[in-house]
């Protein structure tokens, strides 16, 4: 069938909306009419080929929509079902079978190689095969998605806002609720106050952390006024203290003024090696620092900054979440007013995809969502 999709043909190139051919769903796949898709930093990372994905490609991995057709093998989904998308996993490796699909042995292949579950591609442009991201390619009017990536959406939730829960929002919230599981009396510092960081702050409030410190200002390209506005937003989501790193001499010193010896936990969402090191040094002895951003290089003094203080420096994927379990939990928190992630969202028309990315990159909006129909 013919669809419209935002294609990236070359590294760093703007998105181009083109008419593509989409093959029918195969075994254990569904065809979904995409309602909306979130704009995630990971989409920008792969557009710039920091993490390589074969080009040309259709990115977008925070999709949601209505099932139009089910392929062979599908028994638990039907035409008309509202669904959200998340990451792909094989379901048969040791990690998957032990309840840790986020650690799937095939994670890179299923999410970053540009192919579907069976290793083939469903998208075509002028006779050329086109990659799809995370087995979705949800920057499009339609997508073929494997059943492992699908999460049914319950009644009473606006479908258009569900997509971002499938990656960025579950990553931030899951780091707290699934991995750290902090004691209520504990302290936590979150660096990077985009959608991932703010989701972590909301989760820290749910967990009952008594000291929640939001740190912004890691990017000098973003004005301090914008950072201050986001820090005010962080207070509304549960932060007890805020630090604009552009306005202080040392974030580490400021955290220690608040906590005396550093936080029990730190979460870094920036993708910056310098900020990861800073987050590690904001952590007290025997504490844990979690890395969520797609960070490339990091240099630390292992004895002084990590081992000598008995700290943990941990990288986790997708918030250690099983999407089919955790996303419904987050939606229940949302319904009860405990996880107001809808306040992060700014909607854009699909045709304005490049503007949405520009606004996110400049820090003008927290979470952009593209609506496929005006």
Supply the pLDDT for residue 222: 58
194 with 275, same domain: the answer is: yes
* pLDDT of res. 374: 61
Give a yes or no: residue 326 inside a domain.
no
Are 146 and 208 within one domain? no
The reply to whether 205 falls in a domain is: yes
Half-sphere exposure of 3 (CA within 13 A, CB side): 27
Contact indicator for 214, 240 with CB cutoff of 8 Å: no
Domain CATH number, residue 196: 3.40.50.720
19 and 124 part of one domain: yes
242-270 pLDDT, tens digit each = 999 999 999 999 999 999 999 999 999 99
Do 135 and 9 have their domain in common? yes
279 and 365 in one domain?
A: no
Task: Please tell me the predicted confidence (pLDDT) of residue 221.
Answer: 44
Provide the pLDDT confidence category of residue 232 given band limits of 50, 70 and 90.
Answer: very high
| CATH code at position 47 | 3.90.180.10
Claim to verify: residue 194 and residue 103 sit in the same structural domain: no
128 and 214 housed in the same domain? no
Please give the residue range of the domain that contains residue 117: 2-166+340-371
311 and 366 assigned to the same domain: no
E strand segments, the chain: 2-8, 16-22, 29-38, 57-58, 63-70, 82-85, 123-125, 128-132, 142-146, 150-152, 187-191, 211-216, 241-244, 263-268, 283-291, 312-315, 345-349, 367-371
Antiparallel, parallel or unpaired: β 187-191 and 211-216: parallel
pTM, full prediction: 0.94
Give SS3 for 67.
strand
């Amino acid at each position: 069938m013919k669809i419209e999709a935002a294609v990236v043909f070359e590294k760093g190139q703007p998105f181009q909306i083109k008419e593509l051919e989409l093959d029918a769903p195969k075994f254990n796949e569904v065809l979904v009419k995409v309602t909306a898709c979130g704009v995630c930093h990971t989409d920008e990372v792969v557009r710039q080929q920091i993490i390589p994905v074969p080009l040309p490609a259709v990115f977008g991995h925070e999709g949601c929509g209505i099932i139009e057709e089910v392929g062979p093998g599908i028994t638990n989904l039907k035409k008309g079902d509202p669904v959200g998308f998340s990451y792909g996993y094989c379901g048969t490796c040791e990690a998957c079978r032990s309840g840790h699909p986020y650690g799937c042995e095939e994670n890179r292949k299923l999410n970053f190689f540009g192919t579907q579950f069976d290793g083939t591609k469903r998208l075509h442009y002028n006779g050329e095969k086109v990659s799809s991201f995370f087995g979705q390619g949800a920057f499009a009017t339609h997508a073929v998605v494997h059943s492992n990536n699908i999460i049914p959406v319950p009644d009473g939730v606006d479908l258009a806002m569900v997509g971002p829960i499938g990656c960025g929002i579950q990553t931030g919230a899951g780091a707290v609720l699934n991995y750290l599981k902090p004691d209520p009396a504990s302290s936590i510092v979150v660096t990077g106050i985009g959608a991932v960081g703010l989701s972590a702050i909301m989760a820290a409030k749910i967990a009952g952390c008594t000291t929640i410190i939001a740190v912004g200002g890691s990017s000098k390209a973003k004005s301090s006024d914008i950072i201050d506005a986001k820090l005010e937003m962080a207070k509304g989501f549960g932060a007890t203290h805020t630090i604009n790193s552009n306005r202080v001499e040392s974030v580490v010193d400021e955290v220690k003024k608040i906590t005396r010896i550093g936080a029990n936990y730190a979460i870094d969402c920036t993708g910056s090696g310098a900020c990861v090191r800073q987050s590690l040094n904001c952590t007290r002895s025997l504490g844990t620092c979690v890395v969520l951003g797609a960070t490339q290089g990091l240099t630390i003094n292992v004895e002084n900054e990590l081992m000598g203080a008995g700290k943990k420096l941990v990288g986790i994927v997708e918030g250690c979440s099983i999407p089919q379990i955790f996303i419904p939990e987050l939606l229940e928190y949302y319904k009860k007013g405990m996880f107001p992630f809808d306040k992060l969202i700014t909607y854009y028309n699909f045709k304005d995809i490049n503007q949405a990315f520009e606004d996110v990159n400049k820090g003008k909006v927290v979470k952009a969502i593209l609506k496929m129909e005006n």
